[in-house]
Each structure stands twice: as structure tokens, then as C-alpha cells.
């Protein structure tokens, strides 16, 4: 039985060809292809410029430094997100202020964020979790510098404008299973030339007149050549993701689960919510026994890592969110299999399922 992974990069012959050409050129470190790729991403998102990095974490770290964030500053972020953002805040010495999320889109809840804004608040990081937009309009009104994290929805539109063009800076991860990938990688985008210059300076340490603590966070031309091809494919990837999501939604509409939806959702993840008090690990195990890897889409909310309490919506989502395989390279046959296995498991959710899982397989996150 061939296992259907939870996630898988969508790469093809064109990426291979470009990598070989770059290798043959002899220019493999950061060079002209990185520059070209930065321009292509900036044009695509609709901002003045971009800086490529070797990870999304590095992009976030230098975005915060470029904004002047340092010790004693506070940075607001949702608890229901990836721990990489927490790391980036701690690298600067600032204090992360965790916030609960909104039930409707799992993103930062503006009402909760408002309660946490104080004199020391220096930035708000807004990741658009699983590909759904946040209540951005309300968050922008706070007049606190915003760092958009578009790792899950690069290429999406929000109220007629490209996501990633609203904040002071936006960042994106190009990890293997993201919307577009270079294996590892990241980018920061901005309309502010000064911020772009600062980030570039902090990323490139060599041959400088002054000494400053700088970071070798460079991406290689090999990776950038993959990204250029991936960016060209992104609109098609998004169309495919939306198609797959509507096929799943149609197939699973009659069961006791909450399905994802939304015009501006690009379905980086297809996340359903199972009813309260059902054993999520057990459901994951049932799928796994049939050769399908489903996952909790956020491994652990940040407030749990930091031993904080009072995040009821995040807790409820964490206990109920089940992510099914969805990516552009998912074949028709694989889709059919996930549908048929789902249709055999989901009817059980009308009953209480209490057995606990013994085994978990970990593929890509
Ligand atoms: C929303 C989000 N932001 C940032 C990151 C961190 O990116 P990276 O793994 O490239 O450092 C991730 C993790 O993959 C993520 O999901």
C-alpha cells in the first residue's frame, strides 16, 4: 500500500533544468539569479522590493531588526501559529505577547489584540494560517507596524489587492511544503526602501566599511532558480488547491464536521474541525491505517510552549482541527482514495470515539 503523505512539494522538469543550468554556470552562491528572483516576487506581490533569505525564520528575524525591534519591546502574535515566529522575536531580545485567535478564520482576533496593545508594543505579526485571510482591516487601524506572514497564502488577494502588500514588511517561508518552495528559503517584501536596505545590509556581512553584528542568511542562486519557476506556477497551484478543496467539501458535506470555506482562501491546508470531545489522535490513526497521513496542522500552540493560560479559542481549534492531504501534486487517484477513506471514517463522528492513538508517522510538517 502506497502511503499518501500529508504534504509534498510540487516540482517538475522545469525546476530540474534550471538547477542544472545554474550548476553549469559556476555561479551557485547568492548572485544575479537571487536578484532577479527578488524582483520577480516584489512585482508579483505589488511592492517596491524584496530580500531573499535562507529561511522564513531569518526573514522574520531581520524584518523585526529592520523595524528597530529590540530588548524591552513587545511584539504581538497569535498563539495558534508556528514556533518559528516566536524564535524570531526572541532572537531580537523583545518580548512576545501571545494573543487568541478568531473562531471564523483561526487568525489573530483584533478584539484580543487591541487588549494587548500598550506603550511597548512595537509590531504585530499576522500569519494567515492555512491560507485564510485575517481581519486585516481592523488590525491595520491600530497603527502599530504590521509584519504580514504570507507563508500560507502568497498569491492570494484580500479585498482586491495582493496579500503581502498591506504591512510595513511581509515575510514568507519557502520550506519544502509551502505554497512555493526552494527546499528551505524565505523572503521579506516591502514598499519602504530604507527597510529593504537595512535587511539587505544585515544579511550580507562581507566587505563592509563598518563592523555591525550581521548574519549570513543568504539564499543560493541554485535555490533561487527553483523559486523563479515555482513563482511562475503559483497561480496554477492556487487554482488546483481551490479545486481540490471544493472536491473535498462536496464529498464531506453531509458529515458531522465543519468544513473550511472562503472566497479568498487559497487552501494551503485543508483543515476540517471534528466535533468537541472526539479523539483527534484516534481519527488520525484510522486514516494512517488506510495509508493516508493526516495531521494536527499546528503541532502545539505557542501558549502551551510558554506555559500560559487563557486562550480558549486556540485550545478549541487545536483539539478539533484535522488537516487532510492537499497539494497541487495530489493525483486524481489519491484524491479519490482520501475521499473514500474519509467517507468511511467521518460517519463515525456521530458517535463518541475514545480509543487513543498509539503510533504516529511523521513525514513533512
Ligand atoms: C506561517 C509560518 N511562518 C514562518 C515559518 C518559518 O519558516 P521557515 O521554516 O522557513 O523558517 C513557518 C514554518 O514553516 C510558518 O508556517
Query: Mean pLDDT, the chain, as a whole number?
Result: 95
Nearest CA to ligand 1 atom 8: 56
pLDDT at 92: 98
**Does any domain span residue 358?**
no
Q: Is 173 in the pocket of ligand 1 (CB under 6 A)?
A: yes
Write down the pLDDT at residue 351.
52
The CA distance from 100 to 111, in Å, is 9
Q: Which domain does 210 fall in, by range?
A: 13-99+106-229
How far is residue 95's CA from residue 72's CA, in Å, rounded to a whole number? 7
* Cα torsion through 46, 124, 315, 88, rounded to 10: 90
Say what percent of the chain tops pLDDT 90. Answer: 94
Ligand 1 centroid–CA 175 distance in Å is: 7
Domain match, 86 and 204 both: yes
Ligand 1 pocket member 37 (CB < 6 A): no
Pair type for strands 270-273 and 157-158: unpaired
Domain boundary, last residue among 201, 229, 257: 229
Per-residue H/E/C for 245-303: HHHHHHHCCCCCCECCCCCCCCCCCEEEECCCCCCHHHHHHHHHHCCECCECCCCCCHH
Q: In this predicted model, what pLDDT tens digit does every residue of 345-359 receive, in sequence order?
A: 999 887 544 434 344
Single out the residue of 245, 345, 241 nearest to residue 292, CA to CA.
Answer: 345
Count of CB atoms situated within 10 Å of the CB of 78: 31
Task: Among 183, 200, 229, identify where a domain stops.
Answer: 229
**Residue length, the chain?**
365
**Distance from the alpha carbon of residue 84 to the mean position of ligand 1, in angstroms:** 6
Q: Is residue 276 part of a domain?
A: yes
**Substitution candidate for ligand 1 out of 83, 151, 269 with most atoms within 8 A of CB:** 151
pLDDT tens column, 145-171: 999 999 999 999 999 999 999 999 999
Is the per-residue pLDDT at 90 higher than 60? yes
* Percentage of the chain exceeding pLDDT 70: 96
- 262 and 176 in one domain? no
- Each residue of 281-337: pLDDT tens digit? 999 999 999 999 999 999 999 999 999 999 999 999 999 999 999 999 999 999 999
Please indicate whether residue 149, judged by its CB atom, sits closer than 6 Å to ligand 1: yes
Q: Are residues 138 and 249 in the same domain?
A: no
Say if residue 66's pLDDT is above 60: yes
User: Which of 229, 259, 276 is the endpoint of a domain?
Assistant: 229
How far does residue 240's CA lie from ligand 1's centre (Å)? 22
Find out whether the beta carbon of 84 lies less than 6 Å from any atom of ligand 1: yes
Q: What is the pLDDT of residues 10-28, one digit of tens each?
A: 999 999 999 999 999 999 9
Same domain, 71 and 216: yes
Rounded to an integer, the average pLDDT of 229-238 is: 98
User: To test ligand 1's pocket by mutation, which of 84, 89, 178 has the most ligand atoms within 8 angstroms of CB?
Assistant: 84
Amino acid at each position: 500500500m502506497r502511503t499518501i503523505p500529508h504534504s509534498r512539494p510540487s516540482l517538475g522538469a522545469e525546476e530540474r533544468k534550471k538547477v542544472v543550468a545554474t550548476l553549469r554556470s559556476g555561479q551557485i552562491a547568492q548572485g544575479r539569479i537571487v536578484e532577479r528572483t527578488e524582483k520577480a516576487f516584489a512585482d508579483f506581490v505589488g511592492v517596491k522590493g524584496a530580500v531573499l533569505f535562507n529561511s522564513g525564520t531569518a526573514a522574520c528575524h531581520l524584518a523585526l531588526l529592520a523595524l528597530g525591534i529590540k530588548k524591552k519591546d513587545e511584539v504581538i502574535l497569535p498563539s495558534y501559529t508556528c514556533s518559528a515566529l516566536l524564535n524570531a522575536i526572541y532572537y531580537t531580545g523583545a518580548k512576545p505577547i501571545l494573543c487568541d485567535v478568531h473562531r471564523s478564520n483561526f487568525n489573530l482576533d483584533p478584539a484580543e489584540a487591541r487588549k494587548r496593545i500598550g506603550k511597548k508594543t512595537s509590531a504585530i505579526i499576522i500569519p494567515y494560517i492555512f491560507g485564510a485571510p485575517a481581519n486585516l482591516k481592523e488590525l491595520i487601524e491600530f497603527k502599530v507596524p504590521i509584519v504580514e506572514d504570507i507563508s500560507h497564502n502568497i498569491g492570494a488577494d484580500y479585498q482586491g489587492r495582493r496579500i503581502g502588500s498591506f504591512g510595513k514588511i511581509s515575510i514568507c517561508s519557502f520550506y519544502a511544503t509551502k505554497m512555493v518552495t526552494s527546499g528551505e528559503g524565505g523572503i521579506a517584501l516591502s514598499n519602504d526602501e530604507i527597510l529593504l536596505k537595512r535587511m539587505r545590509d544585515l544579511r550580507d556581512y562581507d566587505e563592509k566599511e563598518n563592523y555591525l553584528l550581521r548574519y549570513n542568511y543568504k539564499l543560493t542562486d541554485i535555490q533561487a532558480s527553483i523559486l523563479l519557476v515555482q513563482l511562475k506556477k503559483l497561480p496554477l497551484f492556487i487554482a488546483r488547491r481551490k479545486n481540490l478543496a471544493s472536491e473535498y467539501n462536496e464529498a464531506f458535506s453531509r458529515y458531522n464536521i465543519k468544513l473550511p470555506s472562503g472566497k479568498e482562501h487559497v487552501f494551503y491546508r485543508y483543515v476540517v474541525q471534528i466535533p468537541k470531545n472526539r479523539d483527534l489522535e484516534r481519527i488520525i490513526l484510522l486514516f494512517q491505517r488506510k495509508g493516508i497521513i493526516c495531521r494536527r496542522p499546528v503541532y502545539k500552540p505557542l501558549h502551551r510552549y510558554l506555559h500560559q493560560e487563557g486562550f480558549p479559542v486556540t485550545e478549541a481549534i487545536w483539539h478539533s482541527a484535522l488537516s487532510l492531504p492537499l497539494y497541487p501534486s495530489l493525483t486524481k487517484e489519491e484524491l479519490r482514495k482520501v475521499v473514500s477513506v474519509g467517507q468511511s471514517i467521518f460517519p463515525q463522528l456521530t458517535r463518541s470515539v475514545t480509543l487513543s492513538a498509539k503510533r504516529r508517522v511523521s513525514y513533512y510538517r
